[in-house]
Structure 1
Amino acid sequence: MSSPLWNYTTPGIPDDLFERLPGIPLSKREVRLLIISALRLESHSLLWDIGAGTGTIAVETGLLSPHGKIVAVERDEEVANLIQRNCDRFGVENVDVIEGSAPECLQDLPGKPHRACIEGGRPIKDILKAVWHYLEPQGRIVATASNLESLYTLSEGLAELQARNIEVVQSSINRLETRGTHQIFAAVNPMFILSGEKLDS
């Protein structure tokens, strides 16, 4: 699927091409690439993106998997509208934006996901376990943590769920920026990306 703003087959849309709202998180481009890699999407995957924020993952995966389906969940109406505007901005038509709070809203989402991405939310372990319940056998779940507390909680949750092939990656990214008359490398806030697979039931 081509987009008027991103006419490439590879992911990695620059952050500044997305519409943003103050205080609403955006998965940085390099972190986004790690998340998408961990998802291991198939051509017809149904992906649940829980806590979709600005909608960067929904947009990128929507473009990468034009025959797949993405369900982007956000609890705040204004943020859900932002996700829809970003989908429209990039011409992405295979994303359903759902306004709702996880884990309560998950029972009303369409289908059972083959892939799930959890980008924040509280209580994070309850959300993880609820998403896991709906996840198809052999499905994959990817979750992000920006602090040690969330990392520990997600690690513990994946262990309790007996997830297989668990991987944990910490991003360490520096970008060249111009500040005054100098160019320096500025660090992007590190992020932990956890992933695991569900065995056949």
Structure 2
Amino acid sequence: MWQYKTPGIPDELFDRLPGIPMTKREVRLLILSGLRLEEKSVIWDIGAGTGTISIEIGLLCPNTKIIAIERDPEVAGLIRQNCRRFEVENVEVVEGNAPDCFDTLPEKPDRICIGGGKSIKNILTSCWDYLPEGGRLVATASNLENLYQISEGLAELRACNIEVVQSSINRLEKRGLSQVFAAIAPIFILSGEKIS
């Protein structure tokens, strides 16, 4: 399905469900960069949605174990479906609510990706305890409320090497007989590192 060694799988190659948000290709690239992936590690993808982040990591780092956490059973099934589509075998899908399911996960993470949510600060502060020293966390915010919660959470946790990026991306699209640049909804990508 995706025979290249580079990340950035086109969005249309993923199976989707109506109403389930998907992290756009260009934003995935920024998230992957923020994670600073290593060849052998454990990743928690919290609120994995369609599984785009998990699949990109799985293809880039075949010796890494990705735990995709999703509360909705139908959406968890979609992640499994997309894993089969891309022949990714190092993603384990866990159906559960974050942060309640963290104690039941099979392995502790080296990297964590949080894809948003209503109680994002609570999720962030809860999963931080599972990260080892040198572990990294990346979280995304599509609104100012979540941006504030993540920023406040990282500050309270004394995260180091904090980076904040706001994406502003336009894609060329065909509309009728014309080609126009269409904006992708801006998103904030925040990352930090755990250092004692």
| Fold similarity call, TM over 0.5 | yes
What letter is aligned with 2:118? R
Number of equivalent positions: 196
How far apart are residue 120 of structure 1 and its match? 1.2
- C-alpha distance in 1, partners of 2:91/2:50? 13
Equivalent in the alignment of 2:58:
62
Matched, 1:138 2:134: yes
Matched, 1:91 2:87: yes
- SS at 2:179 equivalent: strand
Matched, 1:110 2:112: no
Task: Give me the TM-score of the superposition, normalised by structure 2.
Answer: 0.99
- C-alpha distance in 2, partners of 1:105/1:58? 18
How far apart are residue 70 of structure 1 and its match? 0.2
- C-alpha distance in 1, partners of 2:114/2:79? 15
What letter is aligned with 2:98? A
- C-alpha distance in 2, partners of 1:121/1:81? 19
- C-alpha distance in 2, partners of 1:163/1:110? 25
Equivalent in the alignment of 1:151:
147
What letter is aligned with 1:107? D
- C-alpha distance in 2, partners of 1:52/1:19? 14
Of 118, 125, 129 in structure 1, the residue corresponding to residue 121 of structure 2 is: 125
Equivalent in the alignment of 1:171:
167
Equivalent in the alignment of 2:182:
186
Of 18, 21, 25 in structure 2, the residue corresponding to residue 22 of structure 1 is: 18
Unaligned 5+ segments in structure 2 are none
Percent identity at matched positions?
68
Task: Give me the TM-score of the superposition, normalised by structure 1.
Answer: 0.96
Matched, 1:100 2:96: yes
Matched, 1:77 2:89: no
Q: CA RMSD in A?
A: 0.6
What letter is aligned with 2:133? P
How far apart are residue 122 of structure 1 and its match? 2.6
Residues 42-101 of structure 1: CA deviation (Å, up to 9, x unaligned): 010100000000000000000001001000000000000000000010000000000000
